[in-house]
């Protein structure tokens, strides 16, 4: 039985309930990489403890500690590193043009979808009264941003349905990090009762196909 590849000596700082580290978990699962994982309890504020600030001063997950003790944060940076270490299967594109297209759509999904859901969630959740933005600085909630976020999510669903009317996956004919980000955005939206429209047939068909991939359970 083939061994699961292990990329150097890495340590992944995760939180099973948070959407951003889930993107990395799905990426890792698609690659079939074995990485040591440490859970950070965001609910209890463990991300603000001195020990974790030493790892990531921004007090957010995910973070990836490399074998020399240095750390990478930000999902796209971590995934770039993992793609370079374990190229197959490619999730960031095999050619310059494909990489550019995938990164373009990944940013669109982040900005129009994931960040919109985050605004809707973080500016309304009772437990985040003084933490409307991630990180060590306290920000009060702005109800108007929550409402705008909900409106933006509706536009995001329409935009993705249009894109998927002519493409098997978000960025073309290859499953990529853009699909991972979109899957997480759709699931995150569902947590705050923002569901895909019934008439978004292309988006729903895409969701059915990507959500049954084994990596989606990561």
**Closest among 87, 92, 72 to 21, alpha carbons compared:** 72
Residues 148-168 pLDDT 10s: 999 999 999 999 999 999 999
Which of 65, 85, 105 corresponds to the end of one domain?
85
Task: Specify the pLDDT at position 8.
Answer: 63
In total, how many domains does the chain have? 2
Name the band, by pLDDT with cuts 50, 70 and 90, for residue 1: very low
115 & 174 share domain: yes
Averaged confidence pLDDT in the chain: 96
Q: Is residue 193 part of a domain?
A: yes
205 & 116 share domain: yes
Examine the pLDDT at 96 and tell me if it is beyond 90: yes
Mean pLDDT of 61-75: 96
78 & 131 share domain: no
Which of 85, 106, 131 corresponds to the end of one domain?
85
Task: Specify the pLDDT at position 90.
Answer: 97
110 & 206 share domain: yes
Residues 52-67 pLDDT 10s: 999 999 999 999 999 9
69 & 167 share domain: no
What is the DSSP-derived secondary structure letter of residue 136? S
Instruction: Tell me the C-alpha distance between 153 and 192, whole Å.
Output: 11
41 & 68 share domain: yes
207 & 103 share domain: yes
Examine the pLDDT at 184 and tell me if it is beyond 60: yes
Task: Specify the pLDDT at position 6.
Answer: 58
37 & 134 share domain: no
Q: Is residue 2 part of a domain?
A: no
Mean pLDDT of 186-195: 98
pTM of this structure: 0.95
113 & 41 share domain: no
76 & 104 share domain: no
Mean pLDDT of 75-93: 97
CATH of the domain at 102: 1.20.1050.10
**Domain containing residue 15:** 11-85
Q: Is residue 3 part of a domain?
A: no
Q: What percent of the chain lies above the pLDDT cut of 90?
A: 96
Long-range contacts of 7-11 (CB under 8 A, 24+ apart): 7/33, 7/35, 7/82, 7/85, 7/86, 8/66, 8/67, 8/85, 9/36, 9/67, 10/35, 10/36, 10/64, 10/65, 10/66, 10/67, 11/35, 11/36, 11/37, 11/38, 11/64, 11/65
CATH of the domain at 49: 3.40.30.10
Task: Specify the pLDDT at position 4.
Answer: 59
81 & 123 share domain: no
């Amino acid at each position: 039985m083939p061994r699961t590849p292990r990329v150097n000596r890495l340590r992944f700082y995760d939180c099973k309930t948070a959407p951003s580290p889930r993107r990395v978990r799905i990426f890792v699962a698609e690659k079939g990489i074995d990485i040591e994982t440490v859970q950070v309890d965001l609910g209890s504020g463990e991300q603000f403890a001195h020990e974790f600030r030493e790892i990531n001063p921004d007090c957010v997950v995910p973070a990836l500690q490399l074998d020399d003790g240095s750390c990478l944060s930000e999902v796209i940076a971590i995934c770039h590193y993992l793609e370079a270490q374990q190229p197959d299967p490619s999730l960031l594109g095999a050619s310059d043009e494909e990489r550019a297209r995938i990164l373009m759509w990944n940013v669109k999904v982040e900005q129009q979808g994931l960040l919109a859901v985050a605004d809707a969630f973080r500016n309304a959740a009772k437990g985040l009264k003084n933490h409307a933005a991630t990180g060590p600085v306290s920000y009060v909630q702005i109800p108007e941003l929550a409402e705008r976020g909900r409106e933006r999510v509706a536009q995001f669903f329409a935009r993705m349905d249009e894109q998927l009317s002519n493409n098997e996956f978000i960025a073309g004919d290859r499953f990529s990090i853009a699909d991972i980000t979109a899957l997480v955005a759709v699931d995150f939206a569902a947590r705050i009762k923002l569901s895909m429209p019934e008439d978004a047939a292309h988006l729903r068909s895409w969701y059915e196909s990507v959500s049954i991939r084994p990596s989606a359970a990561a």
